[in-house]
Amino acid sequence: MTHFKKIIAGKQLTFFVAETYPSYAGGGRNAFNFARYLHANGTQANIVALNYMNRLTPNEVIDGVNIYRIPYYNNNLILKVFSLPLLCFSYIRWVIKSDIVMVYGRYLPGYPFIFLLGWLFSKPLIYRSTLLEDDDMQSISKRALGKITLASFSLIDTYFAINSDFTEMWVKLKGHKIPVFTHPQGVDNTIFYAAASYTPAKINQSSPMFVTNALLIERKGYRKLFEALSKTSFHFKLLVIGQYQPDPYHRSSKQELKEMKALVELGKNLLGSKVEFLNTVKDVVPILRKSDVFIYAGNKDGTPNSVLEAMAVGLPVIMYNSGTNANLFKHQENVILFNSFSSLPQILSDVLKNSELLKKTSANAAENIRKSYTFEQVANGLFTTLNCTLRKPLL
């Protein structure tokens, strides 16, 4: 496989995503981290995102990544319509400027127009789905104008599927004509790594510290997690990293804000002083390294960034078995899976007494990420797939 640096040397790559850093939305966060990694390895990387109600800095450079935010007024339909000309102009401008275009998710208004522009201007184009039951091909086909939107995907050059469920739905609806690169989105192992001084699974059994990291909404499984932990017979501390209140950097729906408020109240009522809500955290590595176990309760994600990051630093991971990513998440090999929340209290009690199992899974996880799931491996595979697709290869 050709190294990605040779394939995209001297190229300008632009990510299109609804929101990005300082927002902690999963797709936008990963787009920024990937762009930052590519920049550090010699590629000019840009991100084009929305600037909801024009609240953020319109154009800035963060860690070498040029972020351009398009003013987007989404308070009502009239303002959305008035925002469209600037959106279209910005899409045209950045597609023309770019050598490679990557679109993350469906939340950019009129994103099929970017596909059309890529085709018109002969720009290599990659699309990456972000969330199961939301922007996989089957879900897109069921939305308004689904057949037209689905047809527009014939204009892209490579589909980036972060797990095999996305791939299966793509092949079912789009066939094999357009290549699919199936691989988790990866981790920046210059930031997330098992430090030499870190001892895997050195558990404080008398009062373990658990940590979880996800937006505080129902889809992430928090309600069932809090209810399960309330039934444990041992003392613990749970650190919850993730937005739980209005945030100017992240577009939250009224329903999401309602869920955040209800879940905070539920967590405090059920767990009391055992739970601490930390909101979003810029640097999670120190928190991961001081914790004993990472717990993840979501079941509808593509591939959770936070789980990959916890595995990369060598923190034992206990997660709900959603049935996805079976090739990555292997029970009692690199993670510990639970099939029902009713079983979680007993599983935690048993696992905390089994230091050898925790040590094995955490060490294997860190090694698996280092060998197969870093941004370098993602970039090599993704851009090799893209290059083999094009009539005029990049290299």
**pLDDT tens across 308-348, in order?**
999 999 999 999 998 888 889 999 999 999 999 999 999 99
Identify the domain containing residue 294 by its residue range: 209-372
Does 201 map to a domain?
no
- What's the gap between Cα 329 and its chain centre? 16
In this prediction, residues 129-135 reach a mean pLDDT of: 91
- What's the gap between Cα 183 and its chain centre? 13
Judgement on whether residues 261 and 299 belong to the same structural domain of the protein: yes
Lowest-confidence region among 141-150, 155-164, 191-200: 191-200
Does 202 map to a domain?
no
Judgement on whether residues 359 and 378 belong to the same structural domain of the protein: no
What per-residue confidence (pLDDT) applies to 251?
80
What per-residue confidence (pLDDT) applies to 187?
94
Judgement on whether residues 227 and 319 belong to the same structural domain of the protein: yes
Lowest-confidence region among 245-249, 344-348, 354-358, 379-383: 245-249
What is the band of 248 on the pLDDT scale with cuts at 50, 70, 90? Answer: confident
**Alpha-carbon span 393 to 89, nearest angstrom:** 28
**Alpha-carbon span 169 to 174, nearest angstrom:** 8
What per-residue confidence (pLDDT) applies to 364?
95
Judgement on whether residues 172 and 218 belong to the same structural domain of the protein: no
Judgement on whether residues 117 and 265 belong to the same structural domain of the protein: no
Does 45 map to a domain?
yes
What is the band of 212 on the pLDDT scale with cuts at 50, 70, 90? Answer: very high
Q: Annotate the chain with three-state secondary structure.
A: CCCHHHHCCCCEEEEEECCCCCCCCHHHHHHHHHHHHHHHCCCEEEEEEEEECCCCCCEEEECCEEEEEEEECCCCHHHHHHHHHHHHHHHHHHHHHCCEEEEECCCCCCHHHHHHHHHHCCCCEEEECCECCCCCHHHHHCCCCHHHHHHHHHHCCEEEECCHHHHHHHHHHHCCCCCEEECCCCECCCCCCCCCCCCCCCCCCCCCEEEEECCCCHHHCHHHHHHHHCCCCCCCEEEEECCCCCCCCCCCCHHHHHHHHHHHHHHHHHHHHHEEEEECCCCCHHHHHHCCEEEECCCCECCCHHHHHHHHCCCCEEEECCCCCCCCCCECCCEEEECCHHHHHHHHHHHHCCHHHHHHHHHHHHHHHHHHCEHHHHHHHHHHHHHHHCCCCCC
What is the band of 205 on the pLDDT scale with cuts at 50, 70, 90? Answer: low
Judgement on whether residues 114 and 144 belong to the same structural domain of the protein: yes
What per-residue confidence (pLDDT) applies to 207?
86
What is the band of 201 on the pLDDT scale with cuts at 50, 70, 90? Answer: low
What is the band of 204 on the pLDDT scale with cuts at 50, 70, 90? Answer: low
Lowest-confidence region among 2-11, 164-173, 191-200, 283-292: 191-200
Does 8 map to a domain?
yes
Judgement on whether residues 227 and 152 belong to the same structural domain of the protein: no
Domains contained in the chain, number: 2
Residue 148 has pLDDT above 90, yes or no: yes
Does 204 map to a domain?
no
283 vs 213, 237, 278, 280, CA distance in Å? 12, 20, 12, 9
The model carries a pTM of 0.93
Residue 149 has pLDDT above 80, yes or no: yes
Mean pLDDT over the full length of the chain = 92
pLDDT greater at residue 196 or residue 297: 297
Q: Annotate 160-213 with three-state secondary structure.
A: EECCHHHHHHHHHHHCCCCCEEECCCCECCCCCCCCCCCCCCCCCCCCCEEEEE
What is the band of 356 on the pLDDT scale with cuts at 50, 70, 90? Answer: very high
What is the band of 262 on the pLDDT scale with cuts at 50, 70, 90? Answer: very high
**Alpha-carbon span 102 to 30, nearest angstrom:** 12
Judgement on whether residues 262 and 321 belong to the same structural domain of the protein: yes
Does 193 map to a domain?
no
In this prediction, residues 367-374 reach a mean pLDDT of: 94
| CATH number of the domain where residue 14 is located | 3.40.50.2000
In this prediction, residues 254-268 reach a mean pLDDT of: 95
**Alpha-carbon span 125 to 130, nearest angstrom:** 16
What is the band of 200 on the pLDDT scale with cuts at 50, 70, 90? Answer: low
In this prediction, residues 84-103 reach a mean pLDDT of: 97
Residues β-bridged to residue 117: none
In this prediction, residues 72-83 reach a mean pLDDT of: 89
What per-residue confidence (pLDDT) applies to 137?
95
Does 191 map to a domain?
no
Judgement on whether residues 239 and 270 belong to the same structural domain of the protein: yes
What per-residue confidence (pLDDT) applies to 23?
87
Judgement on whether residues 84 and 131 belong to the same structural domain of the protein: yes
Judgement on whether residues 114 and 218 belong to the same structural domain of the protein: no
Judgement on whether residues 18 and 153 belong to the same structural domain of the protein: yes
Does 196 map to a domain?
no
